[in-house]
Amino acid sequence: MTVHAAPIVCIGGLNVDRKLKLLAHSLRGSSNPCESHETPGGVVRNVAENLARLGLPVALVAAVGDDASGQMLLKQAEAVGIDLRAIIRLRRHASDSYTAVLAPDGSLELGLAAMPLVESLNPWALGASKALRAGAALIVADGNLPTDAWPLLLGEARASGVPLVCVAVSEAKMERLPEQLAGLHLLILNAGELACVAPEPLDAFAALHARGVARVLVTKGAEGLLLSEPDRAPRHWPAPDVRVVDVTGAGDALSAGVCAALLRDAADFDAAARLGLDLAALTLQTEDSVHPELTSDFLLKR
C-alpha cells in the first residue's frame, strides 16, 4: 500500500477508557464483582492509533488535561507515532474519561462518558490547526465534537475536496450533527445511531442523503456492514466469525480500516468494508481498545 506524505487528520475525543467486566450477570442495587482494565481511549484517538500502527501518517487534534491521565495519553500516543502538534493542553483540568461496564461475554452493558474537554474544540480552537487540515489527504472527525465545529469542517471539505469522514459515537450525541451535511464523504454509525434519524433503515438512509451525506456505512456487529449510496440499493458485507473478548474499540478499528483503504482509493468501498471488518475482528479478540500487536504487516498482507 502506498504511504501518503499528507497525513490523515483525526479530530475529536481523547480520553482514558476504564473497563469494568462483570464476572456474572449484574444485580441492580447491589455490589457486583468485576475485573478492571484501563487503556487510552476516545473514538477518534482509537482510530488514530490504529492508523499509526498500520504505518500511516496521522495527526491528532484533541484536548487533554494536565493531570496524570493526560500525561499518560500523550506519552502513549507519541510512542505509537501519532503527530501531537495540534493537541490542545488545558491547565488545571482533568482529562476526559469513558467508563464501560461489560457483561461477562464482553458486550457493553453500560457506558459512562465524562468528556467536557472535547467541548473546547469549537471553531475558534480549531483555527490553530487550519493549516494542518489544509494539507491533509483525509480528515476523520468523531461525533463527540460540539455542533458548532461541523459547519467549519464541512465548509472546508466542500472547498478543498479533501474527503471528510464522520464516525458517530453514541445515540445521545447524534443530535450534535447539523441538519445540513453537504461535504460529508462518509458517515459511519451503528444501527442504534441510524435509528435516531428514522425508525426504518431505508427512511434513515434517504433522510441522511437528503441532508447531503454522500455515503452511509452502518455497522451491525456480527451481521456485518451495510452501505447506502444515493439511487443505489444498499450493499452488505458479512462479518468474520470470531470469539469475542471485548467489544470496546472494535467499531473504532473498523472505522480505521475503512479510512486506511479510502486513503488508497476514496471510491473503493468494497476494499474499505473488507479491511474494516478484518481489523474489527482482530480487535474483538483483545481486551485493549487497540490491538497491541497491530503493525503495518496487516496492510501488506492485503
Distance CA 223, CA 53 (A): 27
Please enumerate, as own/partner, the contacts of 198-202 that have beta carbons within 8 Å and a separation of 24 or more: 201/226, 201/234, 202/234
pTM: 0.89
Q: What is the pLDDT of residue 1?
A: 39
Closest by Cα among 281, 301, 300, 277 to 291 = 281
Domain architecture of the chain: domains with CATH: 8-24+34-296 (3.40.1190.20)
Q: What is the pLDDT of residue 210?
A: 98
Q: What is the pLDDT of residue 302?
A: 64
- What is the chain's mean pLDDT, rounded? 91
Q: What is the pLDDT of residue 6?
A: 73
pLDDT, tens digit, for every residue of 11-69?
A: 999 999 888 999 999 988 999 999 998 889 899 999 999 999 999 999 999 999 999 99
pLDDT, tens digit, for every residue of 273-290?
A: 999 998 998 888 877 778
Please name the helix (run of DSSP H) or strand (run of DSSP E) that holds residue 41, with its range, or none: strand 34-41
Q: Report yes or no: 79 and 55 within 8 Å, Cβ to Cβ.
A: no
Per-residue pLDDT of the chain (302 residues; tens, 9 = 90+): 344 457 999 999 999 988 899 999 998 899 999 999 888 989 999 999 999 999 999 999 999 999 999 999 999 999 999 999 999 999 999 999 989 898 998 888 888 889 999 999 999 999 999 999 999 999 999 999 999 999 999 999 999 999 999 999 999 999 999 999 999 999 999 999 999 999 999 999 999 999 999 999 999 888 899 999 998 999 999 988 878 877 778 899 999 999 999 988 888 999 999 999 989 988 888 777 788 888 888 877 66
Residue 150 DSSP SS3: helix
Query: Which residues sit opposite 186 in a β-bridge?
Result: 165
Burial of 295 (C-beta count, 10 Å sphere; 0-12/13-18/19+): exposed
Closest by Cα among 211, 209, 247, 251 to 229 = 209
Q: What is the pLDDT of residue 51?
A: 96
Residue 37 DSSP SS3: strand
